[in-house]
Structure 1
Amino acid sequence: MSRRTSGPVSTWAEVQRQRQRQQEAQQRAWLQAQRETERQQRAAERAAARRSREQQAAYRAQREADARQRTEELERRFAELRDLLAAGCAAPLFTPASLRTPETIEPFAPGRLVDPVPMPEPNAYAPAQGGGWGFGPGRQEREQARARYEADLRAARAAEDLRQRQLADYQRRYQEWADDRRAEIRRHNAGVETLVTALRDREPAAVVDYLTAALYASTAWPQGLPRQVAASYDRDDRRLVLDWELPAFAVVPETSLVRYMPGADRDKEVARPAAERRTAYRDLLAQCLLLVLRELFGADTFGALDSVVLNGFVDDTDPATGHRTQTVVATALVAAGVFAGVNPARVNAVDCFTDALGGQLSARPDRRTAVEPLRRPGEAGRPVVSHGGEEEPDLLAMDPLEFEELVAELFRAMGMRAVTTVRSGDGGVDVDALDPDPIRGGKIVVQVKRYRNTVSPSAVRDLYGTVQSVGANKGVLITTSGFGPTSHTFANGKPLTLVSGTDLVALLHDNGLGGRLGPAPEAAQRTPTLVGTTLPGLDADAEADSEASVLGMWWEGAVRLDVCALVCRGGRVLDDDHFVFFNNPRTPDGSVRMMPALGGDKAAIWVSFDRLPARADRVVLVAAVDPEADPDGDLAGFTQARIRLTDPSGAEADRLEVSDGRPGETALVLGSFRRTGTGADWRFVAGGKGYPGAGGLVALVGEHGIEVD
């Protein structure tokens, strides 16, 4: 049997064995950690690969969805053109009644002025002990309570008197506005009656104006089709001769569907068969012509039309010369009785126009093959009325949605894909564009500002924020006006492009589109009479100023205040006429005006910052206790105050907090809007300086250069 040894050697051997075991344990731990690290790394690589596949799948799904959406849009447009006549025949016909304006007046809405001021209840002031107003114990408390009651009663009665005066004044102004509005409507309707009489007498000018108005007012036409027209009327033959613009061949989508090619990472556009496109275009022209005839004969409730000579022409660029020319591709002489015998909603448009109505339609209108018109407007000395054509659209007068669509069309003409956005939830983006160029292209967000005045730099800053938030490659801000130096300085070095009105007009012309800034020279000399609505307290010029701001004041407490404004340079008012208050309700140029409070506000001032004098650099807002309504009052009840910044329609843009009033003060500087630099940007600087005593307002305006006797 073995014997365990002892001594130095055995001790040394045991130490070596322990050390060896520790090294082996450390080695095992290191290997285990290494395997765990490798396991985690493999798991991370698998997760990254999975995420990459998911991202690739999501990207591919998005591109395929985009391709399907484009295909659906192409199909919708093609179906809209294919079914133009059937859909148009379902639209109501134009009648003289369409010209009349109903004599409906917006009802009187005084808001909170209709609510009487509540009077204090005596019982609420009686001392807690003893009750009543007699003598005896607690006499001092009762006298103090009575004094509080009587003071509050006087204040409430004064407030009620003020309310009644304000209500009566608002009622008077409303009645004046309502009477003016009613008179305008009656003048307009009287003009319609005069037109109806002229139509019964078949006066040529009245007949042409009425029938061309019927074509323009018709809801049967989809967007994107032209409506250029020239017409004359032969009273003896009761015949209208009309030239009507037809859409160019490009209106029929050249692409039938879009497929995403994942291997090449691009969209492939599948061309529509050429024969199908030519047939669809010729059919579309026939539908347009039949729809014109339907609108004309349907609107004639006076027997003014025995027949119509209709010429359809295409106004397009001639590829041979590069100039825009008008080519007549269809013509027909159609009697009213003959057209009454067809049902345009159910016919084959080409067969109906050429066979049933005896018209001529170019066999190849896509090649601009012309036909000889039977007769043109103005022959035999008849006066001609023309609309459209040489008159490019006035960008400043366009409907906002049409203006956005024109901008989208400009981007499409420049080789990009562009669509207008939905009106709500668009994040401030009016047009979404995609430049397919692989180097400089990418997503572009576009904002359009149909302004007459300089665009504020805040709009440029907002666009930059939108570009960052949506991950776009570029932001484009397009306006009909221009930009100040502050805007260009901010945009410098950023993925922003600023397009002014003059640049926009040049781009439109360079890309085969039209547009001008302001009326045509001959139209600028005419002053049309329109029946419109103007808010009580504002004239038509003020209401039409879409860039104006309404500064609505609201505060807690029952204190009655006058809100005033001073147009200043530095700390001095420009002159006495630029101190706007109840006795001077507007500046000479009308850029600052008093107006009735709207939307729950207690006071309001209308300001058009762009129309302020060039030397003015601030608009100071002031609140003062009304000395007539509350002669003993102060600003202790002026709390939780704010300025609500809105446009004239009531859309709120911002809320500005102002300082509370303090006991003993009767006037307070609420704050001032100050011009920054030399641009059109204004920023609000809160005030807070109060003025005590009965002469508080006098002292305040005195510091700003107003001398009060």
Structure 2
Amino acid sequence: MSRRSGGLIGVWAEQQRVAQRQREGQQQAVLRQQRDAERAQRAYERDVSRMQREQRAAYRQHRDADALRKTRELDERVAVLEGLLATGCRAPAFGVEALRQSERIEPFAPGPLGDPVPMPDQRYYQEHGGRGRFERDWYAAQAAEARRVEQLGAYRRAYDEWAAGRLAEIRAHNAGVAGTAEALRDAEPETVVDFFSAVLFASTAWPEGFPREVSAAYDRARRTLVLDWGLPAYDVVPAAKGVKYLPSTDQEKEVPRPVTQRRALYRDVLAQSVLLAVRELFAADRFGLLDGVTLNGYVGGVDPATGLPGRTCVASVVGERRVFDRLNLERVAAVDCLTGALAGRLSAKPDERVAVAPMASPDQVGSDVVVQGDGDEPDLLAMDPIAFEGLVAELFRARGLQAVTTRRSNDGGVDVEALDPDPISGGSIVVQVKRYRNTVPPAAVRDLYGTVQGAGANKGVLVTTSKFGPGSYTFANGKPLTLISGTELVDLLHQHGLRGRLGPGASRATTVDTPVDTPVEADADFNLLGMVWSGTAALDVCALVCAGNRVLGDEWFVFFNNPATPDGSVAMAAAAPGDRAAVRVGFDALPTRADRLVLVAAVDPEVNPDADLSGFTDAGIRLRDDSGGELDRLVVSDGRPGETALVLGSFRRRAGGDWDFVLGGKGYRGGLEELVGDFGIQVE
């Protein structure tokens, strides 16, 4: 018969069994935790793998779409070339009347000066301020209104004077146009050549990058115009037919255009260009001046046989009006029409610069030959992009550097690579070329800095035909970047014996400053300077137009009681969304004697009599275009306890006419009165 053990041994055995069960439970719990962790790890790895697959798929989709976009761009360029003649034939013909200017003058627009100063409401003061404060504010408002009326009258007189002068200029111009029409009726050779050159230059049918160079003479007896006209080079036809993305190497590859196809399209473009130029001339002839046009098409560039720059005649035609008028140019095959119906000449291999003999030349005409366009002083704005980059590289070589232009694709945003051989200050330089007409945005300067860092270069240079704004110079300050504006570029070219101009007419670009009392024209470029800051104190943002550290005069201090300068170049403005105050500035319209625009902020003592600038933090200036689009943000200094006014910073005119921003930071405990006193304003 069995019995239950007792005593100490039984207790010890029971304890061992309990401990064993606990150990087994703990082991099971650990095993469960391990299994749970392994399942979670496997789930995480599956999620990561799926996410990576999705990312790879999205990345490939993006690269495929980018390659497709580039292919479409190539197709669009080719489509423009293929339809050059048909598109040009649908454009309206140029006429003398197109040279006339409208006599409509921009109406008088006083801006904030047209708004009366609001008078204080006595009922408010009965509840909050008292009679003494009301009288003080009422007299101040009356004085401000009287000053506004006086400024408005001065502005109106200045506007009337400007408007009368502008109207006189327009009428004088239109009288000259009438004289041109009369000279054309008399078939004066020089006027005829000038007019028909303007016809070709003014045509909107020529794609970007096509040359505009003409030398011409008019045979009055035969009523024939003989001219040499510039034609595009072979690279006008894209060498690539498309772009493909190769996932295996994560690179894009250009699909080459078949050589035979490219050569055929180039010959067709040349034939279309010749036919279109002749068509433009005949269509613009409203005075019966032309019975015929002899046009020789020349291609410029470096002659591969000599290595020297030169011109090659690749097309020539004698077009008689009676024959030309019977053609349906929108439906012809350009090469067949030029060489067949018109019996013209077209090079069999223009891509290899195989020449044809011109049928006649301007030199064979009795009258003087008039040369206009790129052959005189190249217009940098109209120059072929590749030729422009070559000119910039030539400028660097003229300055003693080694410089070459990069390939057109996969250049990493670098147009010219230069090397300064100086062992101390030299090194590699990357150059970007921007053939712009408008101000270069600060984003382009930031992109250049990224390219410099990515390429490991010593320096970056951004060359443009336009100019840079304050945001660009502010970003470039202290960095290995050099910004060369259009005016500086022209000066550098001339200093080193090279040629270049900006726009038609002048060989150098000149900056014309608006006279002090002349109202700013409606098409002047403006910027909005939007102020942002943290804190609840009410602040007044003001601007001073200065020469050095002295304001030009009391009327050039723009604040709540003087909302605009006499010429309207600086004015208080409605703040854009996200800004707390704004000043509208036309930098190019500021007077010649002004070299800086100072921005200041001050506590409004009426609203916050006990406040200071200790809460003025996270402050900045948002540089915007006139439509409100943000171009850049300029950081300014924070306020300090006890100070009630602060110089935020100043925009300063550079020697080339551009403006850069200089950070301020000087604070004042005596408020706006003490601050403006430092700038020469006497506060009563």
- TM-score, normalising length: structure 1: 0.69
1:175 to 160, 171, 177: 160
Superposed, which structure 2 residues align to 1:87-102 within 5 Å?
A: 87-102=87-102
Secondary structure (helix, strand or coil) at the match of 2:348 reads coil
| Structure 1 residue identity aligned to 2:196 | L
Secondary structure (helix, strand or coil) at the match of 2:287 reads coil
**Residue 600 of structure 1, CA deviation:** 3.7
Cα distance in 1, alignment partners of residues 36 and 600 from structure 2: 73
**CA contact 1:501–1:517 (8 Å) conserved in 2:** no
Q: 1:608 to 1:658 in 2, by over 3 A?
A: farther
Instruction: Provide the residue aligned with 1:266 in structure 2.
Output: 251
2:463 to 476, 479, 492: 479
Structure 2: gaps of 5 or more residues: 394-403, 417-429, 532-539, 558-564, 575-581
Secondary structure (helix, strand or coil) at the match of 2:665 reads strand
**CA contact 1:226–1:247 (8 Å) conserved in 2:** yes
**CA shift digits 1:648-700 (9 cap, x unpaired):** 9687877999999xxxxxx9886663989x996512335445489xxx79x97
Q: Does 1:276 align with 2:261?
A: yes
Instruction: Provide the residue aligned with 1:46 in structure 2.
Output: 46
Cα distance in 1, alignment partners of residues 556 and 57 from structure 2: 68
Instruction: Provide the residue aligned with 1:216 in structure 2.
Output: 201
Cα distance in 1, alignment partners of residues 148 and 593 from structure 2: 35
Q: Does 1:329 align with 2:314?
A: yes
| Structure 2 residue identity aligned to 1:26 | Q
**CA contact 2:541–2:600 (8 Å) conserved in 1:** no
Instruction: Provide the residue aligned with 1:234 in structure 2.
Output: 219
**Residue 303 of structure 1, CA deviation:** 0.9
Instruction: Provide the residue aligned with 1:417 in structure 2.
Output: 409
What percentage of residue pairs aligned between the two structures are identical? Answer: 39
Cα distance in 1, alignment partners of residues 455 and 26 from structure 2: 55
Superposed, which structure 2 residues align to 1:431-470 within 5 Å?
A: 448=434, 462=446
Instruction: Provide the residue aligned with 1:76 in structure 2.
Output: 76
Secondary structure (helix, strand or coil) at the match of 2:86 reads helix
**CA contact 1:671–1:687 (8 Å) conserved in 2:** no
Instruction: Provide the residue aligned with 1:105 in structure 2.
Output: 105
Instruction: Provide the residue aligned with 1:253 in structure 2.
Output: 238
Secondary structure (helix, strand or coil) at the match of 2:312 reads strand
Instruction: Provide the residue aligned with 1:311 in structure 2.
Output: 296
Structure 1: gaps of 5 or more residues: 129-140, 420-430, 436-443, 554-559, 586-592, 625-633, 661-666
Cα distance in 1, alignment partners of residues 63 and 57 from structure 2: 10
**CA contact 2:572–2:583 (8 Å) conserved in 1:** no
Cα distance in 2, alignment partners of residues 213 and 253 from structure 1: 29
**What is the number of equivalent residue pairs in this alignment?**
614
**CA contact 1:208–1:385 (8 Å) conserved in 2:** yes
Instruction: Provide the residue aligned with 1:682 in structure 2.
Output: 662
**CA contact 2:445–2:476 (8 Å) conserved in 1:** no
Q: 1:683 to 1:302 in 2, by over 3 A?
A: same
**Residue 394 of structure 1, CA deviation:** 4.6
**CA contact 2:151–2:566 (8 Å) conserved in 1:** no
| Structure 1 residue identity aligned to 2:373 | G
**CA contact 2:229–2:298 (8 Å) conserved in 1:** yes
**CA shift digits 1:515-551 (9 cap, x unpaired):** 85656999549999xxx996983489x99998x9898
- TM-score, normalising length: structure 2: 0.71
| Structure 2 residue identity aligned to 1:200 | R
Superposed, which structure 2 residues align to 1:571-650 within 5 Å?
A: 579-582=551-554, 595-596=567-568, 597-598=570-571, 600=573, 636=606
1:370 to 348, 351, 355: 355
Cα distance in 2, alignment partners of residues 488 and 526 from structure 1: 24
**CA contact 1:241–1:308 (8 Å) conserved in 2:** yes
**CA contact 1:200–1:302 (8 Å) conserved in 2:** yes
Secondary structure (helix, strand or coil) at the match of 1:73 reads helix
Superposed, which structure 2 residues align to 1:52-63 within 5 Å?
A: 52-63=52-63
**CA contact 1:551–1:643 (8 Å) conserved in 2:** no
**Residue 501 of structure 1, CA deviation:** 6.7
**CA shift digits 1:149-173 (9 cap, x unpaired):** 7666555544443332222222111
Cα distance in 1, alignment partners of residues 556 and 126 from structure 2: 45
Cα distance in 1, alignment partners of residues 153 and 432 from structure 2: 49
Cα distance in 2, alignment partners of residues 648 and 266 from structure 1: 37
Instruction: Provide the residue aligned with 1:491 in structure 2.
Output: 479
**Residue 322 of structure 1, CA deviation:** 2.3
Question: Higher mean Cα deviation, 601-610 or 86-95?
Answer: 601-610
| Structure 2 residue identity aligned to 1:88 | G
**CA shift digits 1:251-279 (9 cap, x unpaired):** 22222222223233333333323332222
| Structure 2 residue identity aligned to 1:479 | V
| Structure 2 residue identity aligned to 1:685 | G
Cα distance in 2, alignment partners of residues 214 and 357 from structure 1: 22
**Residue 223 of structure 1, CA deviation:** 1.4
1:343 to 319, 322, 328: 328
Instruction: Provide the residue aligned with 1:28 in structure 2.
Output: 28
**CA shift digits 1:492-517 (9 cap, x unpaired):** 5xxxx656579x989x99xxxx9856
Q: Does 1:673 align with 2:645?
A: no
**CA shift digits 1:416-463 (9 cap, x unpaired):** 4379xxxxxxxxxxx96799xxxxxxxx9969597999x99x989855
**CA contact 1:232–1:240 (8 Å) conserved in 2:** yes
| Structure 2 residue identity aligned to 1:414 | T
Secondary structure (helix, strand or coil) at the match of 2:362 reads coil
Instruction: Provide the residue aligned with 1:135 in structure 2.
Output: none
Question: Higher mean Cα deviation, 306-315 or 383-392?
Answer: 383-392
Cα distance in 1, alignment partners of residues 4 and 597 from structure 2: 107
**CA contact 2:228–2:362 (8 Å) conserved in 1:** yes
Q: 1:381 to 1:279 in 2, by over 3 A?
A: same
CA RMSD of aligned residues (A): 5.8
**CA contact 1:551–1:606 (8 Å) conserved in 2:** no
Q: Does 1:165 align with 2:129?
A: no
Q: 1:372 to 1:254 in 2, by over 3 A?
A: same
Cα distance in 2, alignment partners of residues 404 and 649 from structure 1: 33
**CA contact 1:86–1:346 (8 Å) conserved in 2:** yes
Q: Does 1:286 align with 2:271?
A: yes
| Structure 1 residue identity aligned to 2:170 | I
**Residue 289 of structure 1, CA deviation:** 0.9
Cα distance in 1, alignment partners of residues 668 and 350 from structure 2: 74
Q: 1:342 to 1:445 in 2, by over 3 A?
A: same
**Residue 88 of structure 1, CA deviation:** 0.9
**Residue 282 of structure 1, CA deviation:** 1.7
| Structure 1 residue identity aligned to 2:221 | D
Q: Does 1:14 align with 2:11?
A: no
**CA contact 1:669–1:690 (8 Å) conserved in 2:** no
Cα distance in 1, alignment partners of residues 142 and 91 from structure 2: 60
Secondary structure (helix, strand or coil) at the match of 1:229 reads strand
Cα distance in 1, alignment partners of residues 247 and 530 from structure 2: 56
Q: 1:654 to 1:501 in 2, by over 3 A?
A: closer
Q: 1:81 to 1:120 in 2, by over 3 A?
A: closer
| Structure 2 residue identity aligned to 1:172 | R
Secondary structure (helix, strand or coil) at the match of 2:330 reads helix
Cα distance in 1, alignment partners of residues 124 and 682 from structure 2: 45
